[in-house]
A = this chain, B = another copy of it.
Amino acid sequence: MQVHADHDRLFSALADATRRDIVRRALDGAEGVVELAEHYPMSFAAVQKHVAILERAGLVTKHRIGRRKVVRTNVEGLRAAQRLLDQYELLWRARVDRMNAILAESTEATP
Query: Which A residues are within 8 Å of any B CB, using their own CB?
Result: 4, 7-8, 10-12, 14-17, 20, 23-24, 27-28, 73, 75, 78-79, 81-82, 84-86, 88-89, 91-92, 95
Contact = CB atoms under 8 A, between A and B. Distances in A.
A16 B7 CA distance: 8
Contacts of A89: 75, 78-79, 82
A97 to B, nearest CB: 13
**So how many copies of this chain end up in the complex?**
2
A12 B86 CA distance: 18
A24 B28 CA distance: 35
B95 A88 contact: no
Contact of A12 (B12, B79, B92): B12
A79 B78 CA distance: 15
B24 A15 contact: no
